[in-house]
Amino acid sequence: MDPQMMVELGALTLVGAAALIAGVAEDLESDVGSQSNPNSQVQLAPQMGYLHRLYNKAISGEPASYPFYAAIGASTALSVLSVTGNSGLIGVFFALVAGAFVTSLIHGVYATTSYMGRLASQSRFGQPIYLDVLRTHTPVLMAHGFVANFSVLLLSWVLIAQHFSPFPFVVLAFIWGIALGGVGSAVGDVHLGTDRYYQDRPYGSGVNAAHSGSVVRKAESGLRNSIDCAWFCSKFGGPLTGLGFGLVVYLHFWKEVVVTSWWSALAGVIIVVIFVIMNTYLERYSRQRYGTYKEEAEE
């Protein structure tokens, strides 16, 4: 193995690890804010008469909000680098931290506006705005967002430094932001939405249209808040999202490094085919094991 490939594989390991952390933090962040898919249920709840103390954060969907954060973070990092002029390791590190920090502030501001805005627009259903929900949830969102954004910026910077990408830094961070948001929305939302908001329904029954907005509002003790959702999802949904995004990033660049030139495209197709076969077997196995989806029992 030639030394160049050794360095590239080392960089890849770092990139894959950063992607894994980004995925976990991204999913938990969106769970605290009930962003993306499950958001429509939280949004609908007061209209159906189910008032709640859940956080409602719609900064578009995740695939639009994450590139937004990443682009702000990357622009800030570039600006800080141009001011300090220190392109050594420590200079870059602090520039990325500064980028993620500014991003998390803007993220927090946007989150509060969507919580207050949406609930104020539902005043006819009597849904109050709880300032303590705002005060306790927003910092949690910002902290998870910081970790996710720093990881995306780090990942993009390593890719630029190793000449894996022809794009400028901001554009690359933007693209990986879209990918992160997309994976977080596709993988993570499942565990937040049906698993957490509809725990009182039989597993696998799906959500009947009649139960739209009938989210679980009471916790084991007291009222359910959205930080409970992050706790629940940190057991399975979050790590799974991290695994998903880490695999996307790692496998993509692994085939670029190990299988060179145009053959890497063929390798990509083979990887996708392997995943399709695995998923088909997994679904067939679980259908045989658990049977078809059950109709919900009449109440």
Query: In the range 23-62, which residues lie near other proteins by CB under 8 A?
Result: 40, 43, 47, 51-53, 58-61
CB nearer to other proteins: give 65 or 151: 65
Q: How far is the CB of 215 from other proteins (least distance, A)?
A: 13
Q: Is residue 131 part of the contact set for other proteins (CB under 8 A)?
A: yes
Tokens 């506006």 belong to residue: 113
Count of residues engaged in binding other proteins, rule: CB under 8 A: 56
| Of 139-147, 167-175, 179-187, 280-288: span binding other proteins (CB under 8 A) | 167-175
Among 34, 35, 104, 114, which residue interacts with other proteins (rule: CB under 8 A)?
Answer: 114
**Closest by Cα among 179, 245, 240 to 22:** 245
Query: In the range 257-276, which residues lie near other proteins by CB under 8 A?
Result: none
Q: Are 187 and 30 in contact (CB under 8 A)?
A: no
CA contacts within 13 A on the Cβ side of 73: 36
Q: How many C-beta atoms surround the C-beta of residue 224 within 10 A? A: 20
CA contacts within 13 A on the Cβ side of 166: 0
Q: Are 124 and 155 in contact (CB under 8 A)?
A: no
Task: Give the contact letters, 72-101, x = binds to other proteins (CB under 8 A), - = no.
Answer: x-xxx-xx-xxx------------------
Query: Cα 172 to the chain's mean position, in Å?
Result: 17
Q: How far is the CB of 149 from other proteins (least distance, A)?
A: 14
Task: Give the contact letters, 190-219, x = binds to other proteins (CB under 8 A), - = no.
Answer: ---------------------------x--
3-state secondary structure of 211: helix
The identity of residue 36, as a single letter, is S
Q: Is residue 169 part of the contact set for other proteins (CB under 8 A)?
A: yes
Task: Give the contact letters, 217-236, x = binds to other proteins (CB under 8 A), - = no.
Answer: x-----x-------------
Q: Is residue 163 part of the contact set for other proteins (CB under 8 A)?
A: no
d(CA 55, CA 227): 9
**Quick one: CA dihedral 139, 144, 146, 149, positive or negative?**
negative
HEC-encoded secondary structure of 33-49: CCCCCCHHHHHHHHHHC
CA contacts within 13 A on the Cβ side of 24: 13
Q: How far is the CB of 198 from other proteins (least distance, A)?
A: 19
Q: Is residue 238 part of the contact set for other proteins (CB under 8 A)?
A: no
Binding site for other proteins (CB under 8 A): 40, 43, 47, 51-53, 58-61, 64-65, 67-68, 71-72, 74-76, 78-79, 81-83, 102, 106, 109-110, 113-114, 116-132, 167-172, 174, 217, 223
